[in-house]
Amino acid sequence: MKAIVTAMIASLHAMPDKDSELVDEVLYGMTVEIIRDVNDAWVSIQTAYRYEGYCQKADLLQEEALASTWQQDAQYVVCQSFADVLQQPRIQSTKLLTLVRGSSIRVMSDEAVPEEWSAVLLVSGQIGYVRTKWLQPKITAHSLSEQQFRENVVDTALSYLTVPYRWGGKSPLGIDCSGLCSMAYMLNGVYIYRDARIVEGFPIVNIEQARMQKGDLIYFPGHIALYMGDDLYVHSSLGGNEVTINSLDAKHPLYRQDLATTILAVGTLYNSQKTS
């Protein structure tokens, strides 16, 4: 059975217990698959990118037909760190809810709405209003050239700069290393594995480090970063407490020896790369 996330951020836990490890976060408007009903408060779910965990029922709307329709019709995502959905298209209006970057929403056609505002349909069926510049159409990977995709994923990752580190996090409120990389790819139309390793069945494949290009992924023991080019990479650093930039160049002031000397693998979406 499918369900839709109705909370701003729904936490996925390792066990059906709020005190258990946070393993992931699912954002408003994302659809998930209910694996099994655990008890009155919890369900086991699988995300669209095949990650599993336990979620509170209060954060979901469990309606199969609506979830299937929503998945097709919610073709916009929030591209601002935070976006208030208001009752009326004016800044003085009452807030209905706040959404974070990556939340899925349905934009409605309404010629009476000022151009700087968009009418949006919420999961609840309510109509709200969001600033138009805070929304963007969902991107499909095949709509981008390889070069544009590479540029986009780097730009997306950089939009999270200084966001604090949060284990299991995946939003501007807090994000971990694999959350950052998976969101950078997801917001550009590609689902990669949620954790810091290459897994068969997902689109990332291993390549030699010498072939690494902008937008590829660097894997370390228990850690992952996104390569920016010029020996720089962006990552959510537990040691640095936030999303930051570091270098693989020992002469660079942002060099981190502990990472540069422990690279396990480099992964790419484009396995047709040629050695330069």
**Catalytic annotation, residues:** 177, 223, 235
CB 217 within 8 A of CB 266: yes
Residues shown for the chain:
276
Helix, strand, or coil (residue 133): helix
Alpha helical stretches, state H, the chain:
64-73, 146-158, 177-186, 257-260
φ/ψ region of 133 (left if φ > 0, alpha if ψ in -120 to 50, else beta) reads alpha
DSSP states of 215-264 as a string?
Answer: T-EEEETTEEEEEEETTEEEEEETTTTEEEEEES-TTSTTB-HHHHT---
Q: In what order do the strands lie in the sheet with 31-37?
A: 22-27, 9-13, 52-56, 42-47, 31-37, 2-5, 60-61
User: Hey, what are 259's tokens?
Assistant: 């990472």
Closest listed residue to residue 31, CA positions, set 42, 240, 55: 55
